[in-house]
Structure 1
Amino acid sequence: MSLPVTSNISLRNILFATDFSSCSEAALPYAVGVSRRYHSLLNIVSVVSAEICEDAQPPDPFFFRHSAVDKMEHLVASEMLQGINHHEFVEESEGDFPLVLAELIRRHKIDLVVLGTHGRGGAKKVLLGSVSEEIVYSAPCPVLTVGPDVSTKPIAELKLRKILCSTDLMPGSARNLAYALFLTDTEHAHVSLMHTVERHGNVRPGYLEGEREGAMKRLEQLVPLGTEPSVEMELIVEVGAPAEQILKVAERQDADLIVMGPHSTVHPRVSAHFPWVTAHQVLCHAHCPVLTVRG
């Protein structure tokens, strides 16, 4: 049974989280591009440690905050933000950065978070985790991440010609499809809706083909009622590891955006430490931004 179209999507308030690193710098044009395209208010925030820094040179017990304030002033004076309605602020934290951001999201009624991710992996990932991914798993609104393999944009503009929406066919996936269709409509883009059938060990002959056919029927049923006939949509079913197939299809189609839903979790901090989960693999290796929408 088809699902109804979600029409209450808004992108009026954007939050761009920055630590002034090269990763954040790469994400800024996308934050500005979304803000300009949808006439949004861009909230630029940096969360710094509230610790007293006694060894800073020159002596400054509030080095972290003062340094962030200076960098923020330089950022908002840049030409890229000309003509963009924006607010900027520096927040202090005792160490739980995602918790501070979550409170800011609620306080300012944020519709979308934009941030860069460094793509840390392996043992270092397990030990240190990823603040960006913890936000992806915990934020009450969609999160647009720009990974290390995404091409640097010289100018701030939003051009979404091809959108790839990956679904696990669970009930929560209706929300990320709604966002994909919203962007497809407003950007006049082509959208591909895909599902990956996972291969688990040895299977009987014909099993995977049956799974593919069943998944294709469920994809057809997932397309919302009222979807405009003019929407260019392709349905894709692949077999293999989800992250590998998502990345492969995105590269094959030269996608401008991947839309996906991270698996629900009650422990976002724990999930953010696992380098083998699908969301981590896609966020770290995608050649285009990734919009994660929790169900």
Structure 2
Amino acid sequence: MKRGLRIATYNLAGLGGRGGGSEAERVRAFRAMLARLDADVLCLQEVDAQNIGTRHHPLRRLNVLEPLLADSPYADFHRSHSQHRDRDGALDIHNLVILSRWPMLQARQIWHELVPPPRHVPLHVAGHAGNTAVEAQPRRWDRPLLYAQIDLCVAGHGPGDSLHVFNAHLRAPLAAHLEGQKLSTGVWRSTAAWAEGFYLAALQRNGQALEMRLAVDRLLSTEPDARVIVCGDLNADLNEMPVRLLCASETDTGNPALAGRALHAVDRALVSTSSEGCDVASRADERHYMLDHVLASKSLAAACTRVWMPVGEPAWPSDHPPLLAVFEI
């Protein structure tokens, strides 16, 4: 694979009409960036779905992707996306998508499969602040994780060689909804209620990260040398809890025997500051605050030769720049 294995993650916030400008302008801008990425495996987040059913029997499809991918190499890629828990079709908003140049041996979503919804007793209920008689409520993740096993044999590798990809969009660090605790949109009744909402958001975000960490551990238990990629909008910088939880570095576990289970943030080392894509070395503390990451298992991280992000360019129509990692395997 002379050109290397190119894996990219891109949050498409704005594709469904939330980014300003006309739909044609947004699609044109996204298509141009996708062409620059020239990815073999592309993980997308925040892909909104369109209802092709009725109001009472909705059926949502990702029709918004068709003009984005049409007449491009991605149009023929193998595809998997997140699904609604309670009915056929995609989620209303914020779907996850994995596109692959090569066939997927399996693809599925993980949603409270390994971690049950944590239960929380609301401390602030309208008219009943601090009422311990209020029942505990489950706090479910807003969206699933998306997993795919990609067959690398077609790419010229040996029989049984594959790539395991986890695509994630973790909960944003914004206070979760509490019934009756806002005066208006974005305006809380009290700092205490806001703090509880913020805590619940962190609980859900870290819970998603925990479930993905457990999924990676389960995979590595059966295939210790597996090539694993975890990427997406993790809504956390490198030193924040969700990323540390996912990486499970030897520094945190304190056990060298667990080093083979650690994930490594390949975007820690290299980042591009040129619109032409010329990579330069950069220390993590010199970069902008980053929410999107590519984490790789040990052997795969060692094969990473390039990480690219269009720093310094307008992010429009998304508020997230894409991130590309290249691996020589």
* TM-score, normalization by structure 1: 0.35
Q: Which has the higher strand share?
A: 2
What TM-score does the superposition give when structure 2 sets the normalisation length? 0.32
Which one scores higher on RCO, CA 8 angstroms, separation ≥ 6?
A: 1
